[in-house]
Amino acid sequence: MKTSLAAIGSYTPEKILTNADFEKMVDTSDEWIRTRSGIRERHIAADDQATSDLSVIASKRALEAAHLSPKHVQAIIVATATPDMLFPSTACLVQTRIGAPHVISFDISAGCTGFLYGLAIAESLVKSGYDNILVIGADTLSKITDYTDRTTCVLFGDGAGAALIKRTELEDCILSSYFAADGSSWQLLQQPGGGSRIPASHDSVDKRLHYIKMQGNEVFKLAVRAMSEAALKTLKKASISTSQIDLLIPHQANIRIIEASAKRLHIPAEKVLVNLDRYGNTSAASIPIALDQAIREGRAKKGDLILMIAFGAGFTWGGVLLRY
Ligand code: UT7
């Protein structure tokens, strides 16, 4: 059985925080944020919007684009680091709200690489007989962002993207993929409080342990290396060279990470999709949002070779080569 990308949909919340807004909140400047990260603005979920709310809208858009009733969905995978709650899974909340039948539904935790991990799992499900699988990358990092910490708060935005993966007799859309993880440096990017190691308590909240903690410059170095490795290993598996790629969609964390990775790979800037200036780092949502944009704007055309690469908390990293 082969895998096809039938449709994609995405959603970002209406509220926007600009760099000028952050100048009023912390000791920062538009100039610092733009030059160090490439970000100008980001979409932020409303107080009453959680990750499943964003996921439901993105999923409905994908189903509409595919002209498919939710009744035909056979699996739902949500990649997220910010589930509505620790349990039940966000995927179960999406299942009931979109009106899908009682199908297999679960979350995966692979940080910003989660959507790509989800695609690989969907591919395996297709091979074992499933059809019409929703792979959702969704995060509301604003809910766990410390808006008094200038080193992290300017970076993150909220959003969701959903891909509908179908079974096909025709060509496989996933030509190759590569995935890796290394937990030895997990401390560099984490949300320490609220889990079973440091359960939520007055003390954990007073110590602000329920917020994202990141040693940005250390993460930066690992990210460039890992994203380049993911690209080369993914391409090698399909015997495709970097010059054959029509579009590179990297995880949108930092313009300097993207440029350094593209330079290492000798992929020219015009073949690299960058939208983090408008969305910031939306974690697991960044690649599906960018893929949706590429398709809607005609930057991804039928038959194009699209390489998607990501790096995120864990650390996890990986790549998926798509024939659109
Ligand atoms: O999603 C996957 C994982 N995440 C990432 O891939 C993010 C990776 N890291 C990064 O994107 C970058 O490391 C950052 C954008 C977070 C930071 O850029 P940097 O060039 O690595 O800066 P830095 O952390 O080395 O800090 C340089 C200086 C520091 O001041 P001192 O110690 O040199 O005086 C920081 O305190 O910049 C200061 N700084 C700021 N200044 C103004 C840090 N944040 C800010 C800020 N505004 N918002």
Q: Which CATH superfamily is domain 2-170 in?
A: Thiolase/Chalcone synthase (3.40.47.10)
Q: What are the pLDDT digits (tens) for 181-206?
A: 999 999 999 999 999 999 999 999 99
Mutate to test the pocket of ligand 1, among 21, 27, 141, 217 (most ligand atoms within 8 A of CB): 217
Q: What is the mean pLDDT of residues 267-282?
A: 98
Q: What is the mean pLDDT of residues 92-117?
A: 98
* Residue 229 CA, ligand 1 centroid: distance in Å: 23
* Residue 175 CA, ligand 1 centroid: distance in Å: 36
Residue spans of beta strands (DSSP E) within 238-296:
247-250
Q: What are the pLDDT digits (tens) for 125-170?
A: 999 999 999 999 999 999 999 999 999 999 999 999 999 999 999 9
* Residue 151 CA, ligand 1 centroid: distance in Å: 5
Domain boundaries for CATH 3.40.47.10 within the chain: 2-170, 175-323
The reply to whether 72 belongs to the active site is: no
Give bridge partners of residue 178 from the DSSP assignment: 319
The reply to whether 173 belongs to the active site is: no
Q: What is the mean pLDDT of residues 229-254?
A: 98
The reply to whether 281 belongs to the active site is: yes
H-run or E-run covering 167? strand 158-168
Peptide bond into 315 cis (omega under 30): yes
- CA-proximal residue: ligand 1, atom 48 (nearest): 150
CB atoms within 10 A of CB 237: 14
| Cβ atoms of 11 and 57 closer than 8 Å | yes
* Residue 199 CA, ligand 1 centroid: distance in Å: 29
Helices first, then strands: H and E counts in the chain: 11, 13
Structure tokens belonging to residue 144: 């766990």
Closest CA to 125 of 112, 202, 117: 117
State the average pLDDT for the chain: 97
pTM over 0.75: yes
Strand bridging mode 75-79 / 104-108: parallel
- CA-proximal residue: ligand 1, atom 45 (nearest): 151
pLDDT score for 1: 86
Measuring from each residue's beta carbon to the nearest atom of ligand 1, which residues come in under 6 Å? 28, 32-33, 36-37, 112, 150-151, 154-155, 189, 216-217, 219-220, 223, 253-254, 257, 281, 311-312
Q: Is 274 helix (H, G, I), strand (E, B) or coil?
A: coil
Mutate to test the pocket of ligand 1, among 151, 259, 261, 317 (most ligand atoms within 8 A of CB): 151
pLDDT score for 289: 98
Mutate to test the pocket of ligand 1, among 25, 141, 146, 220 (most ligand atoms within 8 A of CB): 220
Out of 19, 132, 251, 254, which one is annotated catalytic?
251
d(CA 62, CA 92): 18
Q: What is the mean pLDDT of residues 30-50?
A: 98
* Residue 322 CA, ligand 1 centroid: distance in Å: 33
Out of 43, 112, 132, 153, which one is annotated catalytic?
112
| Cβ atoms of 126 and 133 closer than 8 Å | yes
d(CA 82, CA 96): 19
* Residue 106 CA, ligand 1 centroid: distance in Å: 34
d(CA 274, CA 34): 14
pLDDT score for 323: 96
Check: CATH 3.30.450.30 for 175-323? no
Tokens 């300017």 appear where? 154
Q: Identify the sign of the CA torsion 37, 43, 48, 50.
A: negative
d(CA 51, CA 84): 6
